[in-house]
Amino acid sequence: MTAAATPGADHSTDSYLPAHGNGGYRVLHYDLELDYRVVSNRLGGKAVITARAVQSLSRFSLDLGQFRVQDVRVDGRPAKFTHGRGKLRIKPERPIGYGATFKTEIRYAGTPVPIAGRWGDIGWDELTDGVLVASQPNGAPSWFPCNDRPDDKASFLVTLTTASAYTVLATGDLVSRRRRAGTTTWVYERNEPTAPYLMGIQIGRYEHVDLAAGGAVAQRAAIPPRLRTLFRHDFGRHGEIMASFEGLFGPYPFREYVVVVTDDDLDDPVEAQGMAVFGRNHVDGRRTHERLVAHELAHQWFGNSLTVADWRHIWLNEGFATYAEWLWSGVSGGPSVAAHAAQWHAWVATHRPQVAIANPGVDRMFDPLVYKRGALTLHALRLRLGDTAFFALLRSWSAEHQHQIVTTEQFRAHAQRFAPRSLNDLFTAWLDRPALPRLG
């Protein structure tokens, strides 16, 4: 059977964003070589994508935004292609057999623009003097061709050349930095399996500072120099947050953690794999936004290492990260978890309509109710199991599924291992039904 005869070859199985992502193959590795001109916002790229066919393919497709595609080759041979409406459709010279590993090389160039949609503009975005990439949930095609679905995780090698006045940060470990006349080439490697939306590029005039000294995890930041003093206060407890979360959730799942503070305001911080990006408005010298610092760090376990199989499971990202905020508040001398739970239970109760967070619907996947009720679900589970079993559950959940994809059904089954009796009533009430249960 060929991809041409297979329904959905140009679509993913994601029930919320079926137009993003493609069928017929799984990506193993992305090798991206990029050249970016900040002043003109001009991006030129070569992407070499190594994939494995999960069915016989006479055609296949990738997601790619508004670029001019110059050349496409499959296993070194020229391939026919069409490009429009966010899809690059490719017909290789020879069909690709089931189970075969193949390489697709795409050369492209143009002015990168975010992907427009119901959540605004997502992806590659110009700052006042630099670039921010924030791709959740569907912005990755704004800067590279990809299989834009959260369950197709791959390794990455990103090489980006730009003017030497700018610092480039990409999600991954810095492999090399080569300076030539007026430009610098930065090379980053991301070996851990990573969803395309969790890859990020940040470009700006940044100063490097340490987030925390010592410890097994390298923690560093890139910030506007003028924010140095305020940043040191607001992020001064980052090492403590990391240590607390490692105790609660298990070892940090990557080799380093990088915080970027842009010299522009942002509505909300954004996490990428091993990285979080904040706006200058999140740094005020009073730790006003420390809960967000904890929230974004928690996503490295819940959302990045453990990535949802499709977007209807998003409470596994946002409910867990919100509960991590409450946990850090209790540890650091703020309101207790119980106080947060009581406050937000009362808040959720005032909102209509309610939402079934196991499947909130695409229009409400980023609704605050999903975040807060997701955290309340975890607190209800903690009250049922007790602290010892609950935190053992969290640590084993993150360890057993490290760098994998997860579903709500998997979490329910995993939690049941730590309970002396059935949890079906709890999960049905909190996850499957819109009506808000009593807490405890």
Give this prediction's pTM. 0.96
Please identify, among 148, 173, 195, the residue that sits at the C-terminal boundary of a domain.
Answer: 195
Statement to judge: residues 68 and 178 lie in one domain: yes
For residue 211, is it within any domain? yes
**Which residue among 254, 276, 300 closes a domain?**
300
Q: Per-residue pLDDT tens for 167-219?
A: 999 999 999 999 999 999 999 999 999 999 999 999 999 999 999 988 789 99
- The answer to the question of residue 439 being in a domain is no
Beta strands in 279-329 (DSSP E): 307-308
The reply to whether 20 and 138 lie within a common domain is yes
Co-location of 130 and 222 in the same domain = no
- Do 103 and 154 fall within a single domain? yes
pLDDT at 7: 41
Residue 154 scores a pLDDT above 90:
yes
Tally Cβ neighbours within 10 Å of residue 404. Answer: 14
d(CA 75, CA 92): 9
Are 296 and 312 within one domain? no
Average pLDDT score over residue span 387-402? 98
Residue 363 sits in the same domain as residue 276: no
Task: List the CATH number of the domain containing 377.
Answer: 1.10.390.10
pLDDT tens for residues 45-100? 999 999 999 999 999 999 999 999 999 999 999 999 999 999 999 999 999 999 99
Taking residues 97-104, report their average pLDDT: 98
Mean local confidence (pLDDT), 282-300: 98
* Domain membership of residue 280 as a residue range: 207-300
Tokens at residue 202, please? 């940040």
Does any domain span residue 440?
no
Provide the pairing of β-strand 25-37 with 154-163.
parallel
pLDDT reading at 1 higher than 80 = no
> The domain spanning residue 26 has which CATH number?
2.60.40.1730
Co-location of 109 and 135 in the same domain: yes
Residue 438 within a domain = no
Residue 386 lies in a domain: yes
Task: Determine, yes or no, domain membership for 202.
Answer: no
Q: pLDDT at residue 255 above 80? A: yes
Say if residue 8's pLDDT is above 90: no
**Cα-atom radius of gyration of the chain, to the nearest Å?**
22
Q: Does some domain include residue 70?
A: yes
Average pLDDT over residues 296-306: 98
Q: Which of 273, 32, 28, 236 is nearest to 134 (CA)?
A: 273
In percent, the amount of the chain with pLDDT more than 70 equals 98
Structure tokens at 215: 């410890």
Per-residue confidence (pLDDT) for residue 10, from 0 to 100:
76
Distance CA 79, CA 156 (A): 23
Q: Answer yes or no: is pLDDT of 417 > 60.
A: yes
> Which of the four pLDDT bands, split at 50, 70 and 90, describes residue 3?
very low
**What local confidence, expressed as pLDDT, does residue 264 receive?**
96
Mutual angle of helices 387-400 and 408-416, in 10-degree steps: 130
Q: Would you state the pLDDT for residue 12?
A: 81
Q: pLDDT per residue over 359-388, tens digit each?
A: 999 999 999 999 999 999 999 999 999 999
pLDDT for res 284:
97
Would 153 be classed as within a structural domain? yes
Residues written for the chain: 440
The answer on 355 and 258 residing in a single domain is no
Supply the pLDDT for residue 367.
Answer: 96
The predicted pLDDT at position 6 comes to 44
Can you give the pLDDT at residue 375?
Answer: 98
The whole-number pLDDT of residue 11 equals 76
Query: How many independent structural domains does the chain possess?
Result: 3
Enter the tokens of residue 6.
């297979």
Q: Does one domain contain both 313 and 370?
A: yes
User: Do 247 and 358 belong together in one domain?
Assistant: no
CATH code where residue 284 lies: 3.30.2010.30
Same-domain status, 222 and 280 = yes
Bridge partners (DSSP) of residue 160 are 34, 186
- Compute the mean pLDDT over every residue in the chain, rounded to the nearest whole number: 95
Domain boundary among the residues 195, 217, 239 is at 195
Mean pLDDT throughout 114-126?
Answer: 93
Amino acid at 396: S
**201-204 and 167-170 beta bridge pairing:** antiparallel
pLDDT of residue 4: 40
Q: What percent of the chain has pLDDT over 90?
A: 94
Mean pLDDT, range 324-342, rounded to an integer: 98
* Same-domain check for residues 328 and 396: yes
